[in-house]
Structure 1
Amino acid sequence: MQDRQDKQAIEHWWRTSIIDMSPGRISFRGKPIEELIGTVSFPQMIWFMVIGEMPSEGQAKLLEAALVSAVDHGPQAPSIAASRMAATCGLGLNNVMATSLNMLGDVHGGAGEQCAELYYWVSEHIENGKTREDAVNLGLARWREERGKIVSGFGHRFHKPVDPRAPRLMALVRSAAKDGFVTGQFADIGETIQDQLARDRGGRPLAMNIDGATAVIFCELGFPPPLARGVFCLSRSVGILAHAWEQMQQGGRNKGPMPPKFLPEYQPEE
């Protein structure tokens, strides 16, 4: 009796609907792995594993577009810089990637999640009968009260007045909406926020950046905001891997953020 109870306690310690695995058998969400290999794309598999159902072709293409768009932004991005520095410290690729991915926090890597929250706030106001313009103003007022003047998903320190990734992503969303794969509601919300932010700046244009555009996609696909950051991490891991591997081929040892002849400014305490 006790042995049976112990066995049940062990079996129930972890519970998952994601995978059913036993010797000689692997099944993901009820589908044998051998039926998925060669028939399902990687974006489809991501969706299937995380969401629990297979996406439509149009949904999978939008997810793939978001994944492709955010793979890299050069060594000036902290996560990419970290990958190259870590590679010169003698770490293996897995350690390099872990080091870099752990830098994707609220400021670098979290803007898509935050922007998705804003979009959903606006959507709730629209569902409660507000016009889109009024809902946007209410959403922005809440944002500024809770998080300050910088609105995640809009503006870019390099790409002014247009982030080249955003228009292409938005065009794909509009095409998917035309084909009935998504509603296009969040594309409208994102562009209305962009217009309102420009008006707030006296008419000066402000870019919708990669986070604002991918947040549109994630909301159109029905993803909860935290998944926006998770999917961004999957995407950026590709750039992290590429830069780490390139740095390993180039060589170099113990490279810091600047050449050795340049030293940080010393400021004595007053």
Structure 2
Amino acid sequence: MDDTRYPTSLGMSDADSITLLGKDLAGELMGQVSFGELAFWLVSMRRPTPGELRLFEATLVALADHGFTLSAIAARLTYFSAPESVQGAIAAGILGGGSRFLGVTEDTARFLASALAAQPEPPPADQPGWDRLATEVLVQHREARRGPVPGLGHPVHKTEEPRNPVLLRIACEEDRYGSHLELFTAIGRVSAQVFGRHLPLNGAGMCGAVLADLGLPVELLRGFALLARTAGLLGQLAEERRAPIANQVYASVDRHVRYVDPDAQTEQCDPGETAPPPPTDLP
């Protein structure tokens, strides 16, 4: 007899019941636990408090959709090409979650957590102390030539990200304004002094600081960004069915293609222009 066992604290089922997180799925969870609460619970193995849940779900809403982003365009084009594959279209939309889009949530949290872990002293007790720490962190980052600071800068919102004040307000109201948010907001205050120009904190980075302060593992925070964006992509596909634009996007690109000799790469730009550097301040 095979006595192999595969332990789990998540879900299992038998002929008569389904158990999830030690609870009866049908009798104790369905209709009584929100999807956001369940997502938090599945990862952290603890049920969030009402305040934690409010802040957590605010981050999911903040990350769900921003209009015709790269992920939305990729999903719509794939759905146009293969309308029988909803899963393929959604996958196409989330596969690009990386250092410039969506992945910034996790990258920012990792950056903040690493900076905090490297400090030999307890966290600062006041704003000037956080500002000094943020300055040290940014100067070290700049001198080490590690590239853009995760969560700093936005291609559209050049002054202030509209999502940030709301997330900060909810974090304060729910007493979940922790060390990651303290350091991140301090970075926003001192970055112009270090880099010589104003770069606003972006919302994806703010979500990373929020999720880290909620105690969720920073190594999995990209997954929460993808979870939120999946809902947005489903909405994009629903709209593509109602008001399709994918064929128009494809046709527009196709009409504007022009051949460039591979030995004359500079010809890719208009006369008198230089090729722009790759963007470094995307959310």
| Aligned CA distance change for structure 1 residues 247 and 154 (closer, same or farther; 3 Å) | same
Partner Cα separation in structure 1 for residue 189 and residue 199 of structure 2: 8
TM-score when normalising by structure 1: 0.86
* More deviation, 85-94/127-136: 127-136
Residue in 2 that maps onto 1:140: 138
Alignment of 1:29-68 (within 5 A): 29-33=21-25, 34-68=27-61
8 Å contact kept, 2:109–2:180 = no
**2:18 aligned counterpart, secondary structure:** strand
1:25 to 17, 25, 47: 17
Could you tell me which of 235, 238, 241 is aligned with 1:242? 235
> Root-mean-square deviation (CA), in Å?
2.2
1:113 equivalent to 2:113? Answer no
Counterpart of 1:192 (choices 186, 194, 202) is 186
**Deviation string, structure 1 residues 218-249 (Cα, Å, up to 9, x no partner):** 11101222222110001111111111111122
Q: 1:169 aligns with which of 149, 152, 167?
A: 167
Contact 2:180 2:209 in 1 (8 A): yes
Q: Identify the residue that residue 8 of structure 1 maps to in structure 2.
A: 3
Verify the 8 A CA contact 2:21 2:42 in the aligned structure 1: yes
Q: CA deviation at 1:257?
A: 4.4
Distance 1:268 1:25 in 2: 65
Please, which moves more after superposition, 107-116 or 62-71? Answer: 107-116
Contact 1:88 1:252 in 2 (8 A): no
Q: Could you tell me how far apart the structure 1 residues matched to 2:149 and 2:162 are?
A: 19
1:124 and 2:117 correspond? yes
Aligned residues: 256
Alpha carbons of 1:94 and 1:132: their partners in 2 closer, same or farther (altered >3 Å)? same
CA distance in 2, matches of 1:265, 1:146: 40
Deviation at 1:146, TM superposition (A): 6.2
Please report how far the alpha carbon of residue 145 of structure 1 lies from its aligned counterpart in structure 2 after TM superposition.
5.9
Letter in 1 for 2:3: Q
Contact kept? 2:131, 2:189, Cα under 8 Å: no
- If the length of structure 2 is used for normalisation, what is the TM-score? 0.82
1:61 shift after superposition = 0.6
Inter-partner Cα distance in structure 2 for 1:219 and 1:252: 37
Alpha-carbon distance change, 253 to 214 in structure 1, aligned in 2, over 3 angstroms: closer
Question: What is the CA-CA distance between 1:22 and the residue it aligns to?
Answer: 1.2
What amino acid sits opposite 1:62 in the alignment? L
Q: Which residue in the other structure is 1:263 paired with?
A: 256
Does structure 2 conserve the Cα–Cα contact (< 8 Å) formed by 1:126 and 1:132?
no
CA contact (8 A) 2:105 2:151 kept: yes
**Structure 2: 5+ residue stretches without partners:** 124-128, 264-283
| Whole-Å separation in 1 of the counterparts to 2:241 and 2:225 | 24
CA gap 1:248/1:121 in 2 versus in 1, 3 angstroms: same
CA distance in 2, matches of 1:45, 1:147: 40
